[in-house]
Amino acid sequence: MQFELSNKKLNSIKADFELVFIQNKNLKKFSKEKDFFKLNNFQGEGVLLDTRNQKLFTELKSLSYEDIRLSLCNAYKNLEKLNIKSIKMPSIIGDCVVRSFISLTEGILFGAYKFDKYKSEKKANTLKKIIISSEELNGKKFNLDEAKLGLERGQILANATNFTKDIVNEIPEIYTPLKMAEDAKKLAKENKNITCKIYDEKFLEKEKMNAFLAVNRASIHPPRLIHLSYKAKNSKKRIVFVGKGLTYDSGGLSLKPSDFMLTMKADKSGAAAAMGIIKAVSELNLDLEVHCILGATENMIGGNAYKPDDVLISREGVSIEVRNTDAEGRLVLADCLSYAQDLKPDLLIDMATLTGACVVGLGEYTSAIMGNNEGLQNEFYLSSKKSGEYTTILHFNPHLKELIKSNIADVSNTASSRYGGAITAGLFLDKFIRKEYKDKWLHLDIAGPAYVEKAWGYSSFGASGAGVRMCVNFLIHLLRKSK
């Protein structure tokens, strides 16, 4: 998709179609279209296509960034069906020019996203060019350099998010741990400022990552620990992301019911998001040092599968009683978090589709933020709101720690009660965070929005790329704060 910012007024720009925005259902200024609106019973809601005059009237509920995204996504979805090559539109400016243009771009590129690789009939789309006039919707003047920055940043964020979606949507037959390793190497090859190191099962054995290895034991596909890194010349902070990369999760011997096993190709969403984040960071050339540690494996069944009642000794030396093999993601993360802390991060963030309890508690569209540092959690939450992703904070409760106590090991991988399951999973991970990093760590449970089997907002069926925009937005926030 090509975006072009034009100095010309809207009426002077040549394009196949024009986008006309209806704000607050206000139709008073559209006197020429009065009869057309009446004929189509158009009240300013949704969209109305006028093919005779080559216009699409689309509702813009407000100038909030989220409403800008939604309006542009809805407009694109209607225009992509037409045999047109270009559209023109006025600039839409909310509180911030840069964020407004980011939102505009994201709305269109998210609307354009499809995962139709396995469809025998693919719908062709001729629309390739979006021309945005410097004439602002409400007649205000704005900084064109900020607009250009917003367009550039919006494309980078949307493309990184869509890149993540492609990984999550890919089927488990194709997307094995080795495939994730291949994609990581390819990402580093395409982005010269990213380096990639891949470690096999022998390395995991040497590092005593026994929890990670146990999860992989019954799979025919070997595990991989993937380390992606990016370092700017003038890096201000070292940030380490840890991503759960379960390329498929059957539940292991604690086998999932068939209905719950469906969509488990999305259990790699945390690792996929980490890859999307470092892709965006590299293309934005942020003054940071960023590392991504991805634990890629499958959780399958077999004669050599790890079992309920096993006790595993993790890389941190913490012993784990296995009471449910379907609580496997936290085992992989435990060893990956241990490895990540050796990098001495200024900030440590793990992302995982960790618990169904999080989806029950928050719904399908909201990620949970957990950790020990309430100030850091609040800061991340406020930043995430501007990114377009929905989050909320789940605070740790010391009484819930009692639920993951074990009689025969240091900790149990499942709680003794089903209540508070998202938080007890977070508290389990906390057992593997060293004292010096307790206040520098955030746990993001993205189980809800990572993969939803229906379109919602400007997210299509399937993967949403959860985690990418909110984390990159937070990194930009940290850089601003450090100036």
How many structural domains compose the chain? Answer: 2
Binding residues for Mn(2+): 244, 249, 267, 326, 328
Same domain for 17 and 117?
yes
Last residue of a domain, one of 115, 133, 151: 133
Please state the rounded mean pLDDT for residues 110-125.
Answer: 92
- Domain extent, residue 10, equals 2-133
For residue 71, tell me if it sits in a domain.
yes
Same domain for 199 and 297?
yes
Same domain for 35 and 101?
yes
For residue 41, what is the domain's CATH number? 3.40.220.10
Is residue 140 scored above 90 in pLDDT? no
Same domain for 330 and 258?
yes
For residue 249, what is the domain's CATH number? 3.40.630.10
Is residue 18 scored above 90 in pLDDT? yes
Average pLDDT, the chain: 96
Same domain for 434 and 305?
yes
Same domain for 172 and 121?
no
Please state the pTM of the whole predicted model.
Answer: 0.97
**Is 224 tagged catalytic?**
no
- Any idea which residue has 């960071």 for tokens? 281
- Per-residue pLDDT band at 130 (split at 50, 70, 90): very high
Last residue of a domain, one of 89, 112, 133: 133
114, 185, 237, 256: the catalytic one is 256
Q: What percent of the chain lies above the pLDDT cut of 70?
A: 100
Same domain for 304 and 413?
yes
Give per-residue pLDDT as tens, 310-354: 999 999 999 999 999 999 999 999 999 999 999 999 999 999 999
For residue 144, tell me if it sits in a domain.
no
Same domain for 239 and 370?
yes
**Is 469 tagged catalytic?**
no
For residue 140, tell me if it sits in a domain.
no
- Per-residue pLDDT band at 151 (split at 50, 70, 90): very high
Please state the rounded mean pLDDT for residues 143-156.
Answer: 96
330, 386, 440, 469: the catalytic one is 330
For residue 389, tell me if it sits in a domain.
yes
User: 3-state SS string over the chain?
Assistant: CEEEEECCCHHHCCCCEEEEEEECCCCCCCCCCHHHHHHCCCCCCCEEEECCCCEEEEEECCCCHHHHHHHHHHHHHHHCCCCCCEEEEEECCCCCHHHHHHHHHHHHHHHHCCCCCCCCCCCCCCCCEEEEEEEECCCCCCCHHHHHHHHHHHHHHHHHHHHHHHHHHCCCCCCCHHHHHHHHHHHHHHCCCEEEEEECHHHHHHCCCHHHHHHHCCCCCCCEEEEEEEECCCCCCEEEEEEEEEEEECCCCCCCCHHHHCCHHHHHHHHHHHHHHHHHHHHHCCCCEEEEEEEEEEECCCCCCCCCCCEEECCCCCEEECCCCCCCHHHHHHHHHHHHHCCCCCEEEEEECCCHHHHHHHCCCEEEEEECCHHHHHHHHHHHHHHCCEEEECCCCHHHHHHHCCCCCCEECCCCCCCCHHHHHHHHHHCCCCHHHHHHEEEEECCCCCEECCCECCECCEECCCCHHHHHHHHHHHHHHHC
- Per-residue pLDDT band at 123 (split at 50, 70, 90): confident
- Per-residue pLDDT band at 122 (split at 50, 70, 90): confident
Same domain for 186 and 123?
no
Same domain for 270 and 398?
yes
For residue 139, tell me if it sits in a domain.
no
Give per-residue pLDDT as tens, 346-403: 999 999 999 999 999 999 999 999 999 999 999 999 999 999 999 999 999 999 999 9
Same domain for 284 and 344?
yes
For residue 148, tell me if it sits in a domain.
no
Give per-residue pLDDT as tens, 229-284: 999 999 989 999 999 999 999 999 999 999 999 999 999 999 999 999 999 999 99
Same domain for 175 and 117?
no
Is residue 4 scored above 90 in pLDDT? yes
Binding residues: 244, 249, 267, 326, 328
Is residue 482 scored above 90 in pLDDT? no
